[in-house]
Amino acid sequence: MKLARLGLALAGMTLALVGATPLASASEPTGGATPMIIGGQNATSGPWAARMFVGGRQTCSATIIAPTWILTARHCADAGTGYSFRVGSLDQTTGGTMVNGTQATRHPSADIALIKLANSVQATYSPLGTTADVRTGQTVQVYGWGATSRCGSEINCQSRYLKVANVSVTSVNSRDAYSGIAVQARRGDGITAGGDSGGPMFASGRQVGVASTSDRQTVTNYTNITRYRDWIQQVAGV
């Protein structure tokens, strides 16, 4: 099945957000819209959550994993320059800590990136999992500020508040938007959409994935960060 990377069209610039190969715009047909997160519910906790902005405009979701490091999707870091983040707030418009990103390091063959922050941020950092934390058949949680419906142009229906949905793992060896190793999951009470890109998948209380692709209806792929822990350690030291 071909999945589309979730992209947001902003001021004439297409920013690729949670989506699958082939790479595609986030715009979706308006027919057959469902209240789908698409679905899920508002999160009640997410101190490690980071909303990503490019040039001051909402784009992706992310997590803070260390005082000066953000983890997100590579296709989010390809969107341009002028990265900034609101860290530690469930509301993407207020609260938490605003901080600028200074440098993006992109994995060469997987849909993950690390962005160095201009200033150290004191926060609850996302705990990173191991391969033992995620398995086929498991119900896991996914988080993001992305589109809440298939509304045509997904920039018009981004969630103000961080959302969470339960999904069911069908494979831990699928492929992300850059053919990296991914956790594939099927929709439970919700599914990821444009703007959820780079957001976390949690299993066994630890982050095991970064949102890469989704068909906005049934299937989503998260880059399996448990398979890239050596790279994350080398770049960010965690």
Residue 38 counted as domain residue: no
Beta bridge pairs of residue 161: 91
What is the distance between the alpha carbons of residues 111 and 85, in angstroms, rounded to a whole number? 19
Please state, in angstroms and rounded to a whole number, the distance separating the CA atoms of residues 2 and 91. Answer: 32
Contact at 8 Å (CB) between 200 and 46?
A: no
187 within 8 A of 194, measured Cβ to Cβ = no
Choosing from 61, 94, 117, the residue where a domain stops is 117
Residues 139 and 113 occupy one common structural domain: no
Residue range(s) defining the domain that contains residue 171: 131-227
User: Do 149 and 75 fall within a single domain?
Assistant: no
pTM for the structure as a whole = 0.87
Residue 153: give its domain's CATH number: 2.40.10.10
Number of domains present in the structure of the chain: 2
Under 8 Å CB-to-CB from 114, ≥6 apart: which residues?
69, 70, 71, 104, 105, 232, 235, 236
**DSSP assignments along 20-47, one per residue:** -SSP--S---STT-----EESEE-S--T
Question: Each residue's pLDDT tens digit in the chain (238 positions)?
Answer: 345 565 453 332 233 334 333 222 232 322 333 333 899 999 999 999 999 999 999 999 999 999 999 999 999 998 667 999 999 999 999 999 999 999 999 999 999 999 999 999 999 999 999 999 999 999 999 999 998 887 778 887 899 999 999 999 999 999 999 999 999 999 999 999 999 999 999 999 999 999 999 999 999 999 999 999 999 999 999 9
Q: Give CA–CA dist 139/116, Å, rounded.
A: 32
Measured between its terminal Cα atoms, the distance across the chain in Å is 34
